Structure 1
């Protein structure tokens, strides 16, 4: 285990496949989730959900519920405790512009399933039963939940959402160029509403401590977000509330914002002055954030040789009446392809639904599906190989960002290596030309792209005199392997075995870090941990130099090598000293450092950073039944330095599986008469299961990037981007039927 503080250091753990250190706790049941933490005198809350999508509550009769033995309180808008109700108090770290939803605020119903009451009882079963006795009388209005019906009322978002880039100004004249192009392709593309459906339902346990403070276990992808939210809403000082989330059973973006069960649990805990847990049912998991449908049109004009001369990508997406939700949907077209005449527009329209939310690679899943399907259509229109067409229009710079060059981009290598592994050269280009028995065989390809981001983050590192190192910050491990990679980084930086390193996450008493989302955690928290460990190493090194007869006397820190728990002189291993011996000799029990890391402003002013991928898929379609089997996937990814090939591969596998769901199965079905999602359970909302998944081959393409000190790019989201388009393109190759409306169900192929 060797590491210097110079750039020539050798990684022992970073870059090697390591099993997740949190794996044993999860598979044995030792890992506790937000709804599993015990507390003395714990009460249980059950949410009463609205039965209509729009209107007002005329009356609530809770007498029968209150009469049930064991019921402690029924809270509605009529008797809710007073608390802060201004919009700014309810804003959270990832909120879009507008007025955030406030549970039990008044008698208005703004979407189906919104909470209208909370029953708190001595046990969960009593609370659930009592909730069924509550009679809510409504004055209902007809809801509008069909995006197509309000498309003409769409508008440009009036306020910019933090971190969301609006479409750039058009360049050239896309409409004129399209009209005069010898080859033209135009299509309308839709991807259905989708819900995140993590295995762990949203839950919050609020523990009232003896000193009057609150310990909150919340299902959240960033405890700092819940901490800020709860403190602001309930008028608490920061040190009066501590939020923890050591483990998360899936989030996919649904846990970026504090959801209403956190508010209700704290409300009840303050009112009753006792600990309260509120867990949402699977049905209620459909009553908040989801990937919102978007109506898209793509128009491509090209010369006979495939050179793009016109590119237009327009999107309209739904949002709630109370917030202006926004995603980056159309910009990807301008990022991926070089064209002199481009127009990209994005508008939103009000619906009587909850605010949509970020769901794994928000915007990119939607927008890249459209442009990559359209590019496949253009390939057939020009008679070109789909890969050749993409390379013909390959972008070396980001036209959506004033032509900034990419810091690194190995997408060409992704196509080359992916095509070789997949056997693309054996593809017969004509639709319906490949067959195995009664099944038509189709091969499809698409590009994947996602922003490579780094956020401001901090971390702590503490080395004790027994040779153990503890590192951590407030970010969460949402199943991506963050515990493991931070342990690897820390162990390498100070030359310790991984077994001597403990990583702590998901606690607001640790240094603040951003929410775990956006694929920025490795770059952000990883760099902060590395800097904190380097600081610790420098402190120990100074102690070592000060020892009597020190073998490191007059040695500069740049020549220090941290290896096997020792500090040695580079090139002269005989001059070394144990870090444990140094600390004991100096009479120091621990050496600690807190460091911050943030984006490189100079790099960002000069370059654009993206993760790229090329996705190849094979489908087999039963010609008589229209049933699609996805039998092979090759996903070639260029993501800078790979910290842990094992956990990294798992991230791509998970993304691909979710992409398969988008393409073939997932659809939250709205009955527009009632404004309600009707398939609100895992029996009727279809997701891929083991029987749906065959071989998924992941290739990591070598790529060097300098956007951050670790040279890493995000992996959590790139695996899903482009996968649906590759499947759509393969289905067309197999059947000759172009499906532009996802998911591709049997009825669309028969």
Structure 2
């Protein structure tokens, strides 16, 4: 179905809310200012903290003068490696220790005189006001012994080494057939080098933490999108039981992966609160986010494609070099999409990494696929030019029946349908295939396409559902709201499953005291939580039926014979409301839980991974206008058509998909982190100099989706938070190639590269 909003009377069957464009249940709170974020919770005697950042890339602190800062009126304390209480070292990453995955680096902040990157926190000033703290921090004067540092990716990439094998968070390299020989023998081929720069996180809410100790009990208000793992990490670093830490994160102003780990600001706020005995708030400045929160690694990529004269691929070679820090970070799984997108008998995929003296890189929307699809889908487009073939036809000619590398089945794959619908809606048939001939006045016009791809994952979630005798339903789970409409989607699902009005459902989330949720990462939260909400509601319906009193039309019925609707359970011979049943049983409420075991989850995951590949896919259509004199590029039209299973909320789904496309347009045309190759300093650490798209840069983005449920997923749904950034940069580059005849292989596509 299209993104056009579904009216209630259009809903079919027993479903009343799933699929509709329901308003966000937290919309009023957010638009009226009632929603509180991490830096907005009041505490008596609250102090404020500010960080002092290193100004060298590598070395040691030989002295640190805090005298001028300490005499500023209102300063409570200045913590350095000379006087700060010690945290325990960061644990080594292990899948058996989820707290270790939340570790942002191996640095034990303020417990060492070593400096590992330009911007590393080397002191924390605590004061009565945020202004005082920041001013005093500017007076702290470290002295350093500088050591040689490697900070320039371009000059150091020749030192890259193959990535380590066996990391379950990454889809590694692959070899099938003999790609080198097949490439050399191919009648038609392209062999291209691509590069993408470093990208930084710029969520609308900079990272913030409010930390309060009461003995060994810690209350933390934190802008995190990963409550559970961060809680485990803090327990390990501060030597307290996990149950002694409560993290509250009801609202987060954007995440995109950058709030999935425990970054220095969170750790040092907790440390400062323990050291001073005060409630402490540390809200990063925008520049502070660049200094202490990782972003996406830069990359260089080679994509070589061989094909026969009819456009059937015979070889794919996709290799990459990315970077990590000497103190942590994960390689970017750049070739992930290439594993799955095209039917080809000979494949070689590999990753290399180089260690630099920079801040660790981290998850950023669609890690790997976002930049990997830029190179792959640009190369596919270039092969279409070499063949004189329509780029959509080339893709469809190489659409696989089974996964190209593993040979597994796809649980669902409807890319052909997505491209067919998109081509019709976008007017692809009107595209003149010749480069540089379509015009709108003085503007050159180009049209490009690219494939979107993002794998689907499913994680265990613990949920309780409580039904009151008043007919109200409460769903409780430590989920996250980072802008995607979490509570709204789960309320829609629960309302349908129990047959109650949406306004009768309340979802409690964003609190580690609630049943364990899942991080808002990997596009996994909605589907994972939905599975548990469905299971809990099924248990609840059975529990209600067991309370049916003598004489009830439900008595003796099997649950499969009943329908949940109109606030109760019903059979064709009659039914009862939940209020009637619970009241007759003398119960004021009924509560059930669903708590999947980790062992059962792992067993199912292993079984499924051996059987099939789950993924969300899509077709990106872009039209650009290029000024031939100045090289200015304007995106004038966009259509994304996605195969993403069942859509829970048409309005929030459209918002998520548009947001990813906007991020992809920024990646293509303007975003890049500039690093001083001498000092390792980020030179554009602000929204004034790091150019994210603004409203004037973005046309109306048309969204469509197939809305075909995946039978292997709960409610047939896949994650949608990340897929729409994939393929987006390539669609822009391919449209620019059509408009100008120039293939830009190094992002961003700036004026100088077109003139």
With the shorter chain as reference, the TM-score category is over 0.9
Q: Of residues 14, 20, 28 in structure 1, which corresponds to 2:18?
A: 14
CA distance in structure 1 between the partners assigned to 2:616 and 2:45 by the alignment: 49
More displaced 10-residue stretch of structure 1: 84-93 or 582-591: 84-93
Q: Is the 8 A contact 1:143 1:672 kept in 2?
A: no
User: Per-residue displacement from partner, 1:98-118 (whole Å, max 9, x unpaired)?
Assistant: 962322231111111110000
Deviation at 1:94, TM superposition (A): 7.1
The 5-angstrom pairing of residues 70-109 of structure 1 reads: 70-85=74-89, 87-88=91-92, 93=99, 95=101, 100-109=106-115
Say whether residues 1:127 and 2:126 are aligned partners. Answer: no
Aligned to 1:190: 195
CA distance in structure 2 between the partners assigned to 1:212 and 1:356 by the alignment: 32
Q: Of residues 290, 294, 297 in structure 2, which corresponds to 1:289?
A: 294
Q: 1:48 to 1:13 in 2, by over 3 A?
A: same
Say whether residues 1:454 and 2:458 are aligned partners. Answer: yes
Say whether residues 1:396 and 2:395 are aligned partners. Answer: no
CA distance in structure 2 between the partners assigned to 1:56 and 1:161 by the alignment: 32
Aligned to 1:467: 471
Deviation at 1:202, TM superposition (A): 0.5
Q: Of residues 592, 613, 617 in structure 2, which corresponds to 1:612?
A: 617
**SS in structure 1 opposite 2:225?**
coil
CA distance in structure 1 between the partners assigned to 2:623 and 2:567 by the alignment: 50
**SS in structure 1 opposite 2:161?**
coil
The 5-angstrom pairing of residues 223-262 of structure 1 reads: 223-262=227-266
Deviation at 1:208, TM superposition (A): 3.1
Deviation at 1:272, TM superposition (A): 1.6
Deviation at 1:604, TM superposition (A): 3.6
Deviation at 1:532, TM superposition (A): 1.4
**SS in structure 2 opposite 1:539?**
helix
| Alignment size in residue pairs | 735
User: Per-residue displacement from partner, 1:31-81 (whole Å, max 9, x unpaired)?
Assistant: 111111111111111111111111111110001111112111111111110
Deviation at 1:277, TM superposition (A): 0.7
Q: Of residues 496, 504, 508 in structure 2, which corresponds to 1:504?
A: 508
Q: 1:88 to 1:603 in 2, by over 3 A?
A: closer
Aligned to 1:567: 569
Aligned to 1:591: 590
Q: Is the 8 A contact 2:86 2:111 kept in 1?
A: no
CA distance in structure 1 between the partners assigned to 2:223 and 2:290 by the alignment: 16
Aligned to 2:575: 576
CA distance in structure 2 between the partners assigned to 1:558 and 1:667 by the alignment: 56
Deviation at 1:413, TM superposition (A): 0.5
Deviation at 1:662, TM superposition (A): 0.3
Q: Is the 8 A contact 2:103 2:233 kept in 1?
A: no
CA distance in structure 2 between the partners assigned to 1:200 and 1:744 by the alignment: 28
The 5-angstrom pairing of residues 189-588 of structure 1 reads: 189-209=194-214, 213-287=217-291, 288-400=293-405, 402-544=406-548, 547-569=549-571, 571-572=572-573, 575-588=574-587
CA distance in structure 2 between the partners assigned to 1:685 and 1:70 by the alignment: 34
CA distance in structure 1 between the partners assigned to 2:105 and 2:57 by the alignment: 18
The 5-angstrom pairing of residues 107-118 of structure 1 reads: 107-118=113-124
Deviation at 1:212, TM superposition (A): 5.3
Aligned to 1:64: 68
Q: Of residues 24, 27, 33 in structure 2, which corresponds to 1:23?
A: 27
Deviation at 1:97, TM superposition (A): 9.7
Say whether residues 1:158 and 2:164 are aligned partners. Answer: yes
Say whether residues 1:692 and 2:701 are aligned partners. Answer: no
**SS in structure 2 opposite 1:540?**
helix
User: Per-residue displacement from partner, 1:643-670 (whole Å, max 9, x unpaired)?
Assistant: 1111111111101100100000101111
Q: Cα RMSD over matched residues? A: 1.7
Aligned to 1:143: 149
Q: Is the 8 A contact 1:89 1:229 kept in 2?
A: no
CA distance in structure 2 between the partners assigned to 1:473 and 1:246 by the alignment: 12
Deviation at 1:152, TM superposition (A): 2.2
- TM (norm. structure 1) is 0.96
Query: Which 5+ residue runs of structure 1 have no aligned equivalent?
Result: 1-7
Q: 1:741 to 1:57 in 2, by over 3 A?
A: same
**SS in structure 2 opposite 1:118?**
strand
Q: 1:220 to 1:284 in 2, by over 3 A?
A: same
Q: Is the 8 A contact 2:206 2:289 kept in 1?
A: yes
Deviation at 1:9, TM superposition (A): 6.3
More displaced 10-residue stretch of structure 1: 717-726 or 268-277: 268-277
Query: Which 5+ residue runs of structure 2 have no aligned equivalent?
Result: 1-11
User: Per-residue displacement from partner, 1:85-144 (whole Å, max 9, x unpaired)?
Assistant: 253599755739996232223111111111000000111111111111111111123432
- TM (norm. structure 2) is 0.95
**SS in structure 2 opposite 1:670?**
coil
